[in-house]
Amino acid sequence: MKNLTSVKTCLVIIIAAISLMAAGCASIVNGGARHISVNSTPPGATLTITKKGDASGEVVYKGTTPATVALSPKAGYFRGQAYVLKLELDGYNRAEVEVTPSLSGWYFGNIIFGGLLGMVVIDPLTGAMWNLSPENIEQTLTSSQASIIKNKEGFVVVLVSSLTENEKAKMVRIL
């Protein structure tokens, strides 16, 4: 009877050890997409997110601020995915923010919990070894020159050499 209990105990310990080694540490803690919060001042800006380095220019999200977006941190085996966020609102200059991947500290937990399988196979394949930053984006949009003139809030000084021929033709001498 004692031998049967000892065998069962050993079997439970072995199954637990295999289970821990079969899953990557970062996959357990960070599994799945990362949630990025995007706010703009003023709110209501059009938010367009594309993958950085993607020649196709694939849009992965389009909406308005404020928004919380789920982005995959994985670009490929042992490669993290970066993103470019564009914020556009009429009367304001377009703003761009880059979201970049960084190695998760939990990835190194594989040394203790996930073993070689978690470190070399599971976490790199799932992308769980990567975090995305910044996680919270607060972007203030600045007024464009056109809105300053349109709203009669001031004036804009430009060099004549930077104007087109059509703009030069419309100029009025004030002195």
Instruction: List per-residue pLDDT tens for the chain, 175 residues long.
Output: 566 677 677 666 665 555 444 444 445 555 678 899 999 999 999 999 999 987 777 899 999 999 999 998 888 877 888 999 999 998 888 999 999 998 776 666 655 655 666 656 666 667 677 889 999 999 998 887 666 666 677 666 777 777 777 778 888 887 7
The residue written with tokens 């199954």 in the block is 15
Q: Is residue 10 part of a domain?
A: yes
- The alpha helices in the chain, defined as continuous H runs, are 2-22, 25-30, 115-117, 123-126, 145-150, 165-169
Tell me what pLDDT residue 161 has.
Answer: 77
Q: Is residue 17 part of a domain?
A: yes
Map residue 65 onto helix, strand or coil: coil
Note whether 42 and 13 are within 8 A (CB). no
Q: Is residue 41 part of a domain?
A: yes
Q: Is residue 157 part of a domain?
A: no
- The rounded distance, in Å, linking the Cα atoms of 164 and 144 is 19
- The rounded distance, in Å, linking the Cα atoms of 49 and 98 is 10
Tell me what pLDDT residue 22 has.
Answer: 43
pTM of the model: 0.66
Tell me what pLDDT residue 72 has.
Answer: 87
- The rounded distance, in Å, linking the Cα atoms of 166 and 67 is 41
Radius of gyration of the chain (CA): 27
**Side chain identity, residue 90:** D
Tell me what pLDDT residue 26 has.
Answer: 45
**In this structure, what DSSP letter does residue 118 have?**
I
Adjacent-strand bridge partners of 74: 80
Q: Which domain holds residue 118?
A: 2-141
Q: Is residue 109 part of a domain?
A: yes
Domain count, the chain: 1
pLDDT digits (tens, 9 = 90+) for 42-88: 999 999 999 998 777 789 999 999 999 999 888 887 788 899 999 99
- The rounded distance, in Å, linking the Cα atoms of 57 and 43 is 25
The residue written with tokens 């930053």 in the block is 133
Q: Is residue 166 part of a domain?
A: no
